[in-house]
Amino acid sequence: MRFLKGNKIGAETRFGPDWPGERCGARTKAGTSCKRPAVKRTGRCTRHGGKSTGPRTEEGRARIAAAKTVHGRMTKDARAAAKRRAQVGREIRAELREIERGAIAEGRLSKDWRRAFRQSE
């Protein structure tokens, strides 16, 4: 059944407090929950994104991603940069271990040099 904009017949009882259907429940600007009927697929009314199917274009997807990014800590680029830094650190530590082994083998460094170093601090 389709209601016209000017039709006020039954407006009080159409979606009143005793209506058995699902409500939107989104938070309004006043801080209360929305009382409008929800769209089945999303559980939100048409004013709170119930009919939205999401962005369709790459530009729209990029705009949504930028809006949802609170900080850059967990972005793909940041994770890739962290992995690169970790790999460089592993390579440096491996090279230092190799230098240490060589120095111990040549007799330039004692085997317990770390303990002696810590005691001198």
Q: What is the pLDDT of residues 80-92, one digit of tens each?
A: 999 999 999 999 9
- Measure the CA dihedral 19/36/23/28, to 10°: -140
Give residue-wise pLDDT tens across range 8-61.
666 556 777 777 888 888 888 888 888 888 888 888 888 888 887 888 899 999
The answer to whether the CB of 39 falls within 8 A of the CB of 46 is: yes
Helix runs in 19-112, H state only: 58-68, 76-106
Query: Is pLDDT above 50 for 1?
Result: no
Q: In the prediction, which pLDDT does 6 show?
A: 60
pLDDT at 82: 95
Tokens of 92: 């440096």
Token pair, residue 32, equals: 């209360």
Residue 87, judged by CB atoms within 10 A of its CB (0-12, 13-18, 19+), counts as: exposed
Maximum Cα–Cα distance for the chain, whole Å? 99
Written as one letter, the residue type at 64 is I
pLDDT at 121 over 80: no
> pTM for this one?
0.43
Q: Assign residue 107 a region (left: φ > 0; alpha: ψ between -120 and 50; beta: otherwise).
A: left
Cα→Cα distances 80→42, 74, 76, Å: 34, 10, 6
**Position 98 confidence tier, pLDDT thresholds 50, 70, 90:** very high
Alpha-carbon span 14 to 35, nearest angstrom? 12
